[in-house]
Structure 1
Amino acid sequence: MQLVSKTYSSAERAFHEVKERILTGMLPGGELISEGEIAADLGMSRTPVREAFLRLEAEGWMKLYPKRGALIVPIPPAEAEHVAHARYVVETGAVRALVAVDRSTLDAALQESLDRQRELADTKDFARFAVVDTDFHRTYVVAAGNPLLTGFYDSLRERQRRMNSVALHRGSTDIDKIIEQHARLADLIGAGDATGFAAALVEHLAGVHQLELRGL
């Protein structure tokens, strides 16, 4: 029984570790990795790594090629655009719902997030910044008080994190500019300007992820 538990624990650890490396951009799309190198890196046998790879393939993060290895699936351009469109719909809807309510607590939370973002910008911790970036946007979605929209938004979280990490690692994205745009979004939310927020969000998403967001 202990052996089964240990194997399961190792497989879970391998799954979460490799997935985290994909989400943070440490394992970029297009890279080919092997069970052996991951097993050696994590200090475990190949069996739990093989189980982890199968789960990651089932979730669409990698593609397995027998005797060759596992290919990290790149973010398809269409998927990036679809995620951005979905975010636009949810985030603008949330801000419209917030116009008629007291936003003082939300304003404080957004400012706290901006302070944390500025701290991370100085450290160049891209992985952590990508998480805080995602949480910044989630803060006002949650504040709108619609659990169905929040649940849907959370289903995009892993894709958001990966897209943010890729943008940061790409080197073409300026963290200071992201923070500046976040501050602008926070100001528009504080002012109850849903129309201005929608326009600023399109500019933000298109710029960070290098997308043409048609129809927004």
Structure 2
Amino acid sequence: MSWATGESAAERVYREVKGQILTNEIPGGELISEGDIATKCDVSRTPVREAFLRLETEGWMRLYPKRGALVVPVSDREARDVVDARTLLEVHAVRVVVDDADSRGDLVARLERNLAAHRATDPADVAEFSRIDAEFHQLIVAAGDNPLLADFFVSLGERHRRMTTTSVRRDDAVPSRILDDHRELLDALARGDADAFADGLAAHLSAVHDLRRTPSS
């Protein structure tokens, strides 16, 4: 395991463990111990404890003294809330962009490059596959030319990536579904059809993240 120059031990452990949570190498619901992580990262328990406290503050873990740290799973409510927020932001951006031919053309070109890179990525490289997936959607929101909304969307990026890696690991058909759906979303945008984009995005996010079931009241 290599560490970036200049990082503290606690920062190194934080980055490594959080990365494994986001890519579901450490799945939600798993209990991990300071000792195991200290051994894997070749550090003492003190920086691990500091990293765990930071991850708990951010909501990724719950700490249980003398037992370990529970990785908090993505709840159905969180998944639906993230999808709702993403849908509102992306559809808003598209409705802005379709009225400007130059902006729409520039965005289509950027998305074409993204999709080409995505198709060239091995889905087994879950971290990279999910990163490019998140970038596709971030490009759309950024094109809406509202920095506040774009920044908020980026803040959802870690949750987005974790949900995507969960889905990719859950079902081998998901990567192909993502790529096909992105092609359809891109085509709708190129046509300037914001309504088709909105319908396609709703279907895409619902299917990829398995949100088709009606939540119980």
TM category (shorter chain) comes to over 0.9
Paired residue for 1:3? none
Instruction: Write the distance in 2 (CA, Å) between the matches of 1:72 and 1:185.
Output: 34
Superposed CA deviations along residues 153-207 of structure 1, whole A, max 9, x for unmatched, are 0111110010011111112542112101001001111111000000000100000
TM-score, normalised by the number of residues in structure 1: 0.92
Q: For 1:87-166, what aligned pairs fall within 5 Å after superposition?
A: 87-101=86-100, 102=102, 103-121=104-122, 124-166=124-166
Structure 1 CA distance, aligned partners of 2:126 and 2:14?
Answer: 22
TM-score by length of 2: 0.92
Counterpart CA distance in 1 for 2:206 and 2:42 is 41
Structure ranking higher in helix proportion: 1
1:50 is matched with: 49
Corresponding residue for residue 180 of structure 1: 180
* Counterpart code for 1:27: I
Q: Which amino acid aligns with 2:58?
A: E
**1:96 aligned partner, one-letter code:** R
Unaligned runs of 5+ in 1: 1-5
Partner SS for 1:120 = coil
Give the equivalent residue in structure 2 for 1:68. 67
- 2:85 equivalent in structure 1: 86
1:164 & 1:208 partners in 2: Cα distance?
8
Query: What percent identity do the matched residue pairs reach?
Result: 49
User: What is the distance in 1 between the residues matched to 2:135 and 2:173?
Assistant: 18
SS at match of 2:200: helix
- How far the C-alpha of 1:151 sits from its partner, in A, is 1.1
Q: CA RMSD in A?
A: 1.5
Rate the CA distance shift 1:213–1:108 in 2: closer, same or farther, 3 A.
farther
Cα deviation per residue 1:24-73 (whole Å; 9 max; x = unaligned)? 11010010100011011011100000000001011110111111111100
8 A contact 2:177–2:208 mirrored in 1: no
Contact 1:81/1:213 (8 A) holds in 2: no
SS of equivalent to 1:63 = strand
Alignment of 1:166-205 (within 5 A): 166-171=166-171, 173-205=173-205
Q: Which runs of 4+ in 1 moved over 4 A?
A: none
Unaligned stretches of 5+ residues in structure 2: 1-5
